[in-house]
Chain A
C-alpha cells in the first residue's frame, strides 16, 4: 500500500519538459533517495511535491488524497533546504516553534515539543541562539527539528548535507537516518552523491533527464542495474567487448574476450560483438593462472585498504580494484603482464 504516489507527473519550463511523465510509489515510513546528475530534475520534482511549483500534468497523492492542487502551506510536508533556510531574525526556539504557533498549539505544548525536537537533534541548550551564531551542521539540525516538530506527512530533504564538510556529512547522514527510522516518517532525500544514497536509502530512484531510470534497493541498483545509464552512473564500470563464438540453447553463449573464453547467459547471435560492463572490484589478477585475459599493468595506485591497477589491453584501459589482503601490491610490478580473471556472472549486459 503506497503512501505517496506520483502519477504521470510532468513539468515544463519554457516548452522543455524537465520532468517527463514520472511515476513513483513510496511506502509509509520508507526513505527513498532521488539520485541523479545535476539538472536531471530532482529539485523540480521535490518542489512539485512540496507545492512550490505547479504540476503541468499528472497528480500527486498522499495518503489517498490528491494534494497537487493545494498551496504549499496546506500540504503538511516538512522540508529541509540545502542552505538551511532558517529565519535569521528568530532564535532557534522561535524557528522550531514557528510551525506549531501557526497550528495554534497551546503554549505549554509548544514549549515541550520544541524542547523535545531540539533534544532529538542534540541541540538542547541552544534555544536562545540566533542562526548566525551556529555552525553549518548545527543550523542544519535546527532545520531538521523545525521540519519534524510539526509531524509532517512527508519529510523532504533537498541535498541537506552538501554544504557540510566530508566528515560532518557522514555523521549527519547517520543521524538523519537514525531520526528518520525512530520517527518512522516517509522521507524523500535528494542527493547527487551516490555513496550517500547507497548508504542511507531503503530504495533509490535513479533519475536522468527528467525520467526515473530505475527504482530499487541500493543492492539491486548496484548489482542489477536495469539501464546503461544506471550501470555507468552508480559505481565505476569498465566497458569490455566480447565476441560470441558459439550459442547454446537457453540463451547461453560462449563469448571470447581476446581469447579468454567464458560461457554466460546472454541473448547473442553467433559472430557478433557484445558490450559488457564490469565493475573494477570484480576483477582479480594473477601472475599465473589456467586462464584469463592477458593484460599489462600500466600503473598501480595504493589506496590504503585496496590498490587500483590500471590495466592495458591493446588500446583499451581497465581498472581493477583489489583488496590488499587478497593480493599484496608489492608482488605486482608496473609494466608486467598479468592475467585478469572474473566470474562471468558479474558481467552486466549493456542495453543497446
Chain B
C-alpha cells in the first residue's frame, strides 16, 4: 500500500515535470506568433479601441470629434426608422447572400469532390476564379448585364417575354447577385473540406443498410458537412455584411447599407463619432454571428470529429 502510494507520488512528480516541459514548449510557440500578434495589436485592435472611444464622443461641428462623453450617437441610430431600416436591409442582404451561397455551392462542392486527378484541380481553380478579378471590374460586368438596356433585359425583350425592361440594377437583387458571385468560392472551399473528410465507407454503410442516395444524403452526408456549411456561412455573412464596393456599384444610392452609411458620415458629413458608432454596430453584428456559429459548431461537431 505504502509502496503503491510512493509510486503514485513519483509518477505525479514525473507528470508535473513533463507538464513543465510542455508549457515551456508552448511559450516558444507563442514567441513565434509575436510578429503576427503585434500586427494584429497595432493595426487591428488599437484602431478598434479608438473607434469604440470615438463612438461615445459628441459631435463638434468645428473639430469633428468633441470632448464630451455621450450615448447620443447610439440613441440617434436606434430611434431613427431610417437607420434601423438600413441596418435591417444590410442584415437581410447578407443573410440572403449566405443562403444563396450555400444552395449554389453545395452541389458544386459535391461534384468537385467526386472527380479525381487533374480535373479536380482545374475545377477548383475555376471556382476560385472570381477572386482573381478585381472587385470593381467584376461589378461593372454585372452592371452591363443587368442595366435597363443591358444583356439580360435585351434578351428577354427579344424573346418577347417582357414588353419593357425589368428594373434589375440598383436593387437588393443586384447587390445579392454581385455578392454571391464574389463570396461563393469561400463557401465551396469550406464545404469541400468537410465533404472530403467523410470516410467513403460510411456512405457505403448507409446504402448497405438500405438507404437510397437521397436518404443517405440527408441522414449522413448533410449532417456530417454541417461544420463546413457553418464555417462557410460565417465567412460569407461577415464579408457580406461589411462589404462596401459591391453595394456601392450595384446598389447605388437607392440600396444604402451600413458600410455606405459609415462612409458617408466619415468622409462627407464628417460626423466621425456617429460614423464610429455605425461602424461599431457593424462589428458587433459580425461578432454575434461568430459567437452563434461557434455555439452551433460545437453542437454539430459532437459526433462529427474525424476518427
Contacts and interface: CB of A to CB of B under 8 A. Distances in A.
Contacts of B220: 87
A280 interface: no
B304 interface: yes
Interface in A96-119: 98-99, 102-103
Contacts of A99: 209-210
Interface of B: 199, 201-202, 204-212, 215, 219-220, 223-224, 300, 302-307
Nearest to B301: A89
A130 B209 contact: no
Contacts of B210: 73-74, 76, 99, 102-103, 150
Given A90-B303, A102-B210, A130-B302, A81 B204 contact: yes
A338 B204 CA distance: 58
Nearest to A74: B210
Main secondary structure of the interface of B (DSSP, over half): helix
15 contacts: A50-B208, A71-B207, A72-B207, A77-B208, A78-B209, A85-B201, A88-B202, A88-B303, A99-B209, A99-B210, A103-B210, A131-B307, A132-B307, A147-B209, A150-B210
Interface of A: 50-52, 71-79, 81-83, 85-91, 98-99, 102-103, 130-132, 146-147, 150
Nearest to A149: B209
Contacts of A91: 303
Contacts of B212: 71, 73
A81 B199 CA distance: 11
Given A71-B212, A72-B208, A88-B303, 5 more contacts: A52-B207, A98-B211, A102-B211, A146-B205, A146-B209
Given A90-B303, A130-B302, A85 B209 contact: no
Contacts of A103: 210
A73 B207 contact: yes
Contact of B201 (A51, A81, A132, A150): A81
Contacts of B208: 50, 72-73, 75, 77-79, 147
Contact of B204 (A72, A74, A76, A130): A72
Most chain B beta carbons < 10 A, residue from A71, A77, A85: A85
B204 A79 contact: yes
A79 B303 CA distance: 22
Contacts of A131: 303, 307
B305 A79 contact: no
Contacts of B211: 73, 98, 102
Contacts of A86: 202, 205
A71 B303 CA distance: 29
Contacts of A83: 199, 201, 307
Contacts of A76: 210
Given A102-B211, A103-B210, A132 B305 contact: yes
A132 B208 CA distance: 22
Contacts of B306: 88
A328 to B, nearest CB: 41
Given A73-B210, A85-B199, A102-B210, A132 B204 contact: no
A85 B199 CA distance: 7
A125 to B, nearest CB: 18
A72 B204 CA distance: 8
Given A81-B204, A90-B303, A98 B209 contact: yes
Contacts of A87: 202, 205-206, 220, 303
Contacts of A71: 207, 212
Contact of B305 (A73, A88, A102, A147): A88
Contacts of A147: 208-209
Most chain B beta carbons < 10 A, residue from A74, A89, A132: A89
Nearest to A146: B209
B69 to A, nearest CB: 50
A81 B209 CA distance: 12
